[in-house]
Amino acid sequence: MASFDVIIIGGGPGGYVCAIRCAQLGLKVGVVEGRDTLGGTCLNVGCIPSKALLHATHSLHEAEHNFAKMGLKGKSPSVDWDQMKAYKQETIDGNTKGIEFLFKKNKVTWLKGWGTIPAAGQVKVGDEVHEAKSIVIATGSEPASLAGVEVDEKTIVTSTGALVLNKIPKSMVVIGAGVIGLEMGSVYARLGTEVTVVEYLDAITPGMDAEVAKAFQKILTKQGIKFILGAAVQGATAKGGKAKVTYKLRKDDSEVTLDTDCVLVATGRKPYVDGLGLEALGVEMEKRGQVKTHHFATNIKGVYALGDAIVGPMLAHKAEDEGMALAEILAGKSGHVNYDVIPGVIYTTPEVASVGQTEEQLKEAGRAYKVGKFSFMGNARAKAIFQADGFVKILADKDTDRILGAHIIGPMAGDLIHEVCVAMEFGASAQDLALTCHAHPTYSEAVREAALACGDGAIHA
């Protein structure tokens, strides 16, 4: 048995960041993690491996479609799927080992095994019970199941199985046009798989600014991905390495069955809190399965929760921010997360990124706003890399010019969004961005031009 100031259950981005910050603030910290490696879903079977596959397959796309145009001639590369998976695994290993190193550096103890909370102030790992003044539930999330769809992680897979398919399928049906479906759908489409995305709603990427979502769908369609919208999947079955997916069209209730080599179920995730003993402990839960919290505190004294296990967007960086804020609170400081400025990024090509309000949200709230839009067609760098299809859209208050949201579809959108995030944190106006010198030639000039378009107009439009 050991005694700690804080024991964190879960070594993902929420948990490990909280642990490192707690240690930096002088607290004695233990992290319970049952996987063989630290980093949680994000590093092991989520954000990081998918980005490795996106990078590899984007490179393939460049070789197949753009190299010759740039005068790079010769045999186009062939795909060694096992090597691509090995590269992906090396990327994972490098990152998970990095967290282990940071734990050692900061003197965070890794309590290996799966944890339960037998009582407030106690965490059980294996046969050992450890004591802690504060306990943090940072157990993340797992893929949500879908009625009538039986996942075997071979033919009918979640995002986890989609990272390690035995072979590249000839065809794939993706259920759900959300972030996972479109990122992994892109990977396989670039590898030559015939990808069909079946989505319940009438648009892709729910919650995204509608204009961006429409442009995004058009671009992905051009890349060869097929969309069936307004279709509720009723079930999926696998037999002999093949699968059948049945969906019902919402407009006329007609039922259609698709035959395919592989099905990716990407219909959302749910908090992973099973087996922690929360019910016996009397921890209050939300109706949708999250741990109920107020400033990260549960109703049980000394027990806290964060990340995907609580309410809010299921994003690694939201969990990280909460981890830092909670560490500050536990160390007697004032931790804070600004939930109004949490960016969202989809790492397809082009990337899609957003922060703040969408036009639809502003309309619904009855807020007077103006729109500054700039197409990457007017951006020299984007044109040079054949990625001029997208645009930057900045939404600002009609009277005060304060930035209310930004939506970008285009090259490096996931990085570009952050200058808008910083601006929003400082309560900046669109003019503040417009008057800031941006280096030429950079993609970021498109952000400035969109800000200029909120005022007297963009220059290169």
Check binding of 140 to ligand NAI (CB under 6 A).
no
User: Does 225 sit near ligand NAI (CB under 6 A)?
Assistant: no
Give the nearer residue to ligand NAI in terms of CB position, either 234 or 361.
234
CB of 403 to ligand NAI, least distance (A): 22
Site for ligand NAI, residues 162 to 181, rule: CB under 6 A: 175-181
Neighbours of 294 (CB within 10 A): 7
127 marked among binding-site residues? no
Cis previous bond, 441, omega within 30? yes
Out of 99, 123, 137, 146, the only residue in the binding site for ligand NAI (CB under 6 A) is 146
Q: Is 183 annotated as a binding residue?
A: yes
Determine if residue 115 is labeled as part of a ligand binding site. Answer: yes
Q: Binding pattern to ligand NAI, positions 320-349, x when CB under 6 A?
A: -------------------------xxx--
Strand partners, 374: 392
Peptide bond into 350 cis (omega under 30): yes
Query: Is 142 marked as binding a ligand?
Result: no
Is the torsion defined by CA of 297, 336, 106, 316 positive or negative? positive
Count of residues of this chain found to bind ligand NAI when the rule CB under 6 A is applied: 26
d(CA 294, CA 275): 23
Q: Closest by alpha carbon to 434, among 385, 363, 370?
A: 370
186 versus 267: smaller Cβ distance to ligand NAI: 267
Question: Of 190, 187, 195, whose CA–CA distance to 88 is shortest?
Answer: 187
Handedness of CA 213, 214, 219, 221 (dihedral sign): positive
Q: How far apart are CA 376 and CA 196, in angstroms?
A: 28
Residue 452 marked as a ligand binder: no
Tell me how far the alpha carbon of residue 397 is from its chain's centroid.
28
Interacting positions 373-412 with ligand NAI (CB under 6 A):
none
Does the annotation place 358 within a ligand binding site?
no
Residues written for the chain: 461
Among the listed residues 84, 112, 83, 82, the one whose alpha carbon sits nearest the alpha carbon of residue 100: 112
Annotate each residue in 40-69 with x if it binds ligand NAI (CB under 6 A) or - if it does not, as one string: -------x----------------------
The answer to whether 15 is a known ligand-binding residue is no
Kindly report the three-state secondary structure assignment for every residue of 428-450. CEHHHHHCCCCCCCCCCHHHHHH
**79-118 footprint of ligand NAI as x/- string (CB under 6 A):** ----------------------------------------
Residue 315 or 362 with smaller CB distance to ligand NAI: 315
Active site residue 440: yes
Composition of the chain by helix, strand, coil, percent to 5: 35, 25, 40
Judged by CB, which is closer to ligand NAI: 338, or 400? Answer: 338
Binding track, positions 269-308, relative to ligand NAI; x by CB under 6 A: x---------------------------------------
181 carries a ligand binding annotation: yes
**Member of 33, 199, 351, 419 binding ligand NAI (CB under 6 A):** 199
Of residues 65, 295, 336, 440, which has the active-site annotation? 440
Whether the Cβ atoms of residue 14 and residue 307 lie closer than 8 Å to each other? yes
Q: Please choose, out of 92-100, 200-208, 216-224, 432-440, the segment that lies near ligand NAI by the rule CB under 6 A.
A: 200-208
Identity of the residue, 201 or 258, whose beta carbon is nearer to ligand NAI in the bound complex: 201
Task: Single out the residue of 315, 388, 413, 430 in contact with ligand NAI (rule: CB under 6 A).
Answer: 315
**DSSP-assigned states of every residue in 187-254:** HHHHTT-EEEEE-SSSSSSTTS-HHHHHHHHHHHHHTT-EEE-SEEEEEEEEETTEEEEEEEETTT--
Q: Binding of ligand NAI at residue 353 (CB under 6 A)?
A: no
| Residue 418 in contact with ligand NAI, rule: CB under 6 A | no
Closest contact distance (angstroms) between CB of 264 and ligand NAI is 9
Q: Which CB sits closer to ligand NAI, 23 or 180?
A: 180
**Strand 122-125 and strand 115-119: pairing?**
antiparallel
Nearer to ligand NAI, 109 or 349 (CB): 349
The string of DSSP codes covering 125-193 is ETTEEEEEEEEEE---EEEPP-TTB---SSSEE-HHHHTS-SS--SEEEEE--SHHHHHHHHHHHHTT-
Distance between CA atoms of 417 and 424, rounded to whole angstroms?
Answer: 11
Site string for ligand NAI, 232-251 (x = CB under 6 A): xx------------------
Contact, 8 vs 18, CB < 8 A? yes
Q: Give the binding site for ligand NAI (CB under 6 A).
A: 47, 146, 175-181, 183, 198-201, 206, 232-233, 266-269, 314-315, 345-347
Binding site as annotated, residues for NAD(+): 176-183, 199, 268
Which residues are identified as catalytic? 440
